[in-house]
């Protein structure tokens, strides 16, 4: 029995960490650090650093602790703007970081731990899993995806 393929074939690209070398892993870690600095600045209402770390492409994605899927820079930015307006305060830091770097893409898995205020202004502990995706654009590692567990109090 013959089957007909319809329109597309999946393409898999190896992202062997040895492809990029230690210098690229350090660069990705630096970009990841910049993301968490930007996130903590966002908690004070300052959106500027978050705009700088993200790629502004229409293929970027965000699945944050409040739920939903945002696709494209305009949707992602709108979500970050809404979060900045909340001025949640507090601080989160990455822990147990694992980095995989390819030629132009990198994946970072980690936990985000710390605390923020909830809608009633009470301090809540944060302990969630995160996956961060980066793409090398113009020699700089820019975030193209952020995915976390849900937080019930957001």
CATH number at residue 143: 3.10.450.50
pLDDT score of 25 more than 90: yes
Q: What pLDDT, on the 0 to 100 scale, is given for residue 77?
A: 98
Residue 141: C-alpha distances to residues 48, 69, 106, 150 (Å) = 17, 22, 8, 26
Please, which residues bridge with residue 146 across strands? 62, 132
What are 132-136's contacts with CB under 8 Å, separation 24+? 132/32, 132/35, 132/107, 132/108, 133/61, 133/105, 133/106, 133/107, 133/108, 134/28, 134/31, 134/32, 134/105, 134/106, 134/107, 134/108, 135/55, 135/104, 135/105, 135/106, 136/103, 136/104, 136/105, 136/106
Query: For 42-100, what is each residue's pLDDT tens digit?
Result: 999 999 999 999 999 999 999 999 899 999 999 999 999 999 999 999 999 999 999 99
From CA 117, how far away is CA 47, in angstroms rounded?
A: 18
Write down the residue that tokens 């650093």 correspond to.
Answer: 49
Residue at 71 is within a domain: no
From CA 89, how far away is CA 105, in angstroms rounded?
A: 31
Residue at 154 is within a domain: yes
Residue at 129 is within a domain: yes
Q: What is the mean pLDDT of the chain?
A: 88
- What's the pTM value of the predicted model, to 2 decimals? 0.84
pLDDT band at 108 (very low <50, low <70, confident <90, very high): very high
For residue 138, give its domain range: 90-154
Number of domains in the chain: 1
């Amino acid at each position: 029995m013959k089957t007909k393929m319809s329109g597309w074939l999946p393409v898999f690209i190896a992202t062997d960490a040895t492809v990029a070398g230690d210098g690229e892993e350090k660069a990705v870690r630096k970009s990841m650090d910049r993301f968490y600095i930007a996130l903590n600045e966002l908690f004070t209402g300052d959106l500027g650093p978050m705009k700088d770390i993200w790629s502004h492409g229409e293929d970027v994605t965000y699945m944050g602790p409040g739920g939903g899927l945002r696709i494209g820079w305009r949707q992602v930015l709108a979500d970050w703007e809404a979060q900045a307006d909340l001025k949640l305060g507090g601080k989160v830091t990455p822990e147990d970081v694992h980095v995989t770097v390819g030629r132009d893409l990198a994946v970072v898995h980690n936990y985000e731990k710390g605390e923020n205020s909830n809608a009633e202004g009470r301090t809540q502990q944060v302990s969630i899993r995160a996956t961060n995706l980066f793409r090398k654009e113009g020699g700089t590692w820019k975030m193209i995806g952020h995915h976390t567990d849900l937080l019930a109090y957001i």
